[in-house]
Amino acid sequence: MSEPVTVRILDRDYLIACEPSEREGLVSAAHLLDERMRDIRGDNRMAAIDRIAVMAALNLAHELLQSRNASVQRERQIDHTLGELNRKLDGLLAGAAQTVR
């Protein structure tokens, strides 16, 4: 059952419904977003909050995509390495089977 959680982002409170099991993640995400928005706003207290929010969202989305791409590259490398190991093991097992005969 969802319950309301209040998060503070750029000195504004937002009431958001979430599952109790997701509360910690929501609070962490709000904290990260608050930090990013404050960094973007800097000393310019007159900057429009919607512009700051869009810039923060774009920065976070860019980082997410970079992380996903890095993950895909790691998975490809692991698959390649496992394939090489399997080929070597197959060769060793085939050689051992011929020796036993």
Per-residue pLDDT averaged across 7-33, rounded? Answer: 97
The yes-or-no verdict on residue 97 having pLDDT over 90 is no
The span from the CA of 60 to the CA of 14, in Å, is 20
The span from the CA of 58 to the CA of 78, in Å, is 30
Q: Which helix (H) or strand (E) holds 12?
A: strand 12-18
* pLDDT at res. 100: 67
CB 4, CB 16: distance < 8 Å: yes
The full set of domains in the chain, from first to last, is 3-100 (3.30.160.880)
Per-residue pLDDT averaged across 39-52, rounded? Answer: 91
The yes-or-no verdict on residue 8 having pLDDT over 90 is yes
